[in-house]
């Protein structure tokens, strides 16, 4: 019946309609409990409300990594969608948050020392100083530094292992991070994972606001950006098997890793035909500087959805926020995930009950690894006294919960 399962991944994942019409069965939210490759945390507390968390594995080895860190004053969300292997996304999960904490602590210490001695901060840093004074020192520069340190660290790892395992140069990851600090929201993104805010409009209807920009060659603005940055390269973006790809290889234009598309020293020879570039790299093709959005949380902001692109392949932003808005909080991330899997099954003409029976690896022909974190914003917790919120570190697809060092103060 499902003869396509014998095909290669590239032929199975042929271009298809981006979204199928929503079926009444797509939002039942049930059926995920007995899915051996689906993990979830139904509802946990964070400093400004509650969150729901779910991950499903499709690849032979889970390439998505994700985490939520909760502190007394702040909440951190990270979704890292790896490609080519799990090494880059695992590295990000192990290092980026720690780099953020280090840069935050260093900046607070600098401000404190300058204040103690009555010295003004450098004239070229007024924004950082204002943010430090008003918002607890979190800033866009701290996020950029954490991303940069993570990129440099992973490329150092690639360099050390290149002689024995050169294929590490072809492994990378998208990187989506959100930080809520008091009434401020910071979102930083590389690649095509997405953060979407559910907001109420003047008629009290829920509407979706996409906070991130998709760094994907399928977007015309990204193709234009690449051709403007590389006017000498007629092959910078090409259509291959019905999909726009950078150098005919990769869809995302920004990432952590993918060293072979950033530095000539990591070029891969013809024994790696999928990643071999016929012409030597003159300058980086991919970027590692994130797009960052900073905004004050308003009374109309109800919740945030952070998810890898596997969710957005099957649900529109508006469909996703309506599912969250119209259903109970507990288990809402799993409900979103099951809705996407039901949609994937309809497109592939394979019921979700049959998808559950597929082994990891084979299941990648139907859908990608998907990670979802839904963060609810309770405004009384933003404005009121401190609530007793556990400082905990939650990793996607990991049952144990550890303590977090997210002690912004």
pLDDT in tens, 110-150: 544 444 555 554 544 444 544 444 445 689 999 999 999 99
Give me the pLDDT at residue 33, please: 87
117-to-50, 105, 259, 389 alpha-carbon distances in Å: 41, 19, 44, 35
- The answer to whether residue 172 scores a pLDDT higher than 80 is yes
Phi first, then psi: give them for residue 7, nearest 5 degrees. Answer: -80, 165
Contact 317, 18 (CB under 8 A): no
Give me the pLDDT at residue 390, please: 81
130-to-74, 185, 387, 399, 409 alpha-carbon distances in Å: 18, 16, 26, 40, 16
- The answer to whether residue 299 scores a pLDDT higher than 80 is yes
Which is more confidently placed, 62 or 381? 62
> What rounded mean pLDDT belongs to the chain?
87
Query: Percentage of the chain with pLDDT > 70?
Result: 83
Given strand 301-307, what is the order of strands in its sheet?
38-46, 49-56, 370-377, 301-307, 194-200, 206-210
Give me the pLDDT at residue 190, please: 98
Residue closest to 81 by CA, chosen among 370, 364, 287: 370
pLDDT in tens, 369-379: 999 999 999 98
Q: What angle do CA 109, 113, 117 make, to 5 degrees?
A: 170
């Amino acid at each position: 019946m499902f003869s396509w399962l014998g095909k290669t991944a590239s032929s199975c994942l042929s271009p298809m309609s981006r979204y199928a019409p929503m079926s009444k069965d797509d939002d039942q939210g049930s059926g995920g409990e007995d899915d051996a490759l689906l993990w979830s945390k139904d509802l946990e507390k964070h400093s400004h409300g509650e969150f729901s968390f779910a991950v499903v594995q499709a690849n032979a080895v889970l390439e998505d990594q994700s985490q939520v860190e909760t502190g007394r004053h702040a909440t951190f969300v990270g979704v890292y969608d790896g490609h080519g292997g799990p090494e880059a996304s695992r590295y990000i999960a192990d290092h980026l948050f720690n780099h953020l904490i280090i840069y935050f602590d260093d900046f607070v210490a600098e401000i404190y020392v300058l204040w103690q001695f009555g010295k003004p901060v450098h004239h070229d840093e007024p924004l950082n100083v204002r943010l430090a004074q008003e918002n607890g020192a979190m800033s866009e520069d701290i996020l950029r530094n954490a991303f940069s340190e993570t990129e440099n660290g992973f490329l150092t790892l690639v360099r050390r292992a290149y002689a024995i395992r050169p294929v590490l140069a072809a492994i990378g990851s998208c990187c989506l991070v959100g930080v809520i600090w008091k009434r401020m929201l910071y979102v930083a993104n590389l690649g095509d994972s997405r953060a979407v805010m559910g907001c109420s409009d003047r008629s009290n209807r829920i509407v979706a606001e996409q906070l991130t920009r998709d760094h994907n060659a399928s977007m015309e603005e990204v193709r234009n950006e690449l051709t403007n940055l590389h006017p000498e390269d007629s092959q910078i973006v090409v259509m291959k098997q019905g999909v726009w790809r950078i150098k005919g290889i990769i869809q995302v234009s920004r990432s952590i890793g993918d060293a072979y598309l950033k530095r000539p020293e990591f070029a891969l020879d013809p024994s790696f035909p999928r990643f071999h570039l016929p012409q030597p790299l003159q300058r980086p093709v991919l970027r590692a500087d994130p797009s960052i959005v900073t905004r004050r949380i308003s009374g109309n902001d109800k919740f945030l959805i952070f998810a890898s692109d596997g969710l957005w392949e099957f649900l529109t932003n508006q469909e996703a926020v309506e599912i969250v808005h119209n259903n109970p909080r507990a288990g809402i991330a799993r409900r979103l995930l099951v809705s996407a899997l039901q949609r994937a099954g309809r497109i592939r003409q394979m019921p979700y009950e049959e998808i559950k029976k597929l082994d990891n690896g084979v299941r990648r022909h139907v859908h990608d690894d998907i990670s979802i974190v839904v963060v609810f914003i309770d405004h009384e917790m933003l404005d009121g006294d401190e609530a007793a919120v556990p400082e905990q570190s939650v990793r996607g697809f990991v049952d144990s919960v550890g303590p977090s060092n997210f002690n912004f103060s």
